[in-house]
Amino acid sequence: MIDKNIKIISLHEKPQLANEVIDYANKNWPPISKYFTEVVQQVLDTDESLPKCFILLKNQRIIGLYTLVNQDLVERKDLSPWIAMIFIDEKERAQGLCKEILLHGRRIAGDLGFDKVYLSTNHIGLYEKYGFKEIALDMFVWGRPAKIYEHSSIS
């Protein structure tokens, strides 16, 4: 069970946090800042079901984020939706937050009518422990290898 002071909220619930969450991503994970900023703008500009941006708050302070998007930054374009851009503050790791993010993303995907959810990574051994199964090898759009994982959604 995660700390009761930690919440996962949708940027749709608190659009006033958009600039703060963009600044957080830029500071903590510069390589994704351009793409993340684009996703946040899409979230704010559309009424479509995807993309979505979720923020982890601990005592009202941002400690992490993730997105649920139609397409991730891999060459493969036939799968959707993707749990993407998962980030948790280093000092907040090893507390079960990744598991909670993945469960949350699977629930949201299920609520939206998807049977499966995907993620891409170059991490080995992390997502398998949460039931994700490797289904393919691919390339990130910037040329690095990526593993693609899938899991059933939760409805």
pLDDT at 16: 96
Mean pLDDT of 90-112: 94
With 80 as the cut, is the pLDDT of residue 1 above it?
no
In the CATH hierarchy, which top-level class contains the domain 6-152? alpha beta
52 confidence band (pLDDT: 50, 70, 90): very high
Q: Do residues 132 and 82 touch, judged by C-beta distance below 8 A?
A: no
Mean pLDDT of 25-52: 91
Q: Which two tokens stand for residue 38?
A: 């684009």
pLDDT at 125: 87
Q: What is the 3-state secondary structure (H, E, C) of 9-27?
A: EECCCCHHHHHHHHHHHHH
Which range is least confidently modeled, 28-32, 34-38, 41-45? Answer: 28-32
Mean pLDDT of 128-148: 92
With 80 as the cut, is the pLDDT of residue 3 above it?
no
Mean pLDDT of 34-51: 93
**Alpha carbons 119 and 147: distance in angstroms, whole number:** 8
Q: How many CB atoms lie within 10 A of CB 131?
A: 13
pLDDT at 31: 83
**Alpha carbons 66 and 53: distance in angstroms, whole number:** 6
**Alpha carbons 96 and 57: distance in angstroms, whole number:** 14
Paired with 96 in beta bridges are: none
Q: CB-based burial of residue 42 (10 Å sphere; 0-12 exposed, 13-18 middle, 19+ buried)?
A: middle
**Alpha carbons 97 and 105: distance in angstroms, whole number:** 12
Is the CA virtual torsion 42, 137, 133, 25 positive or negative?
Answer: negative
pLDDT at 130: 95
123 confidence band (pLDDT: 50, 70, 90): confident
pLDDT at 26: 93
> What does the chain come to in residues?
155
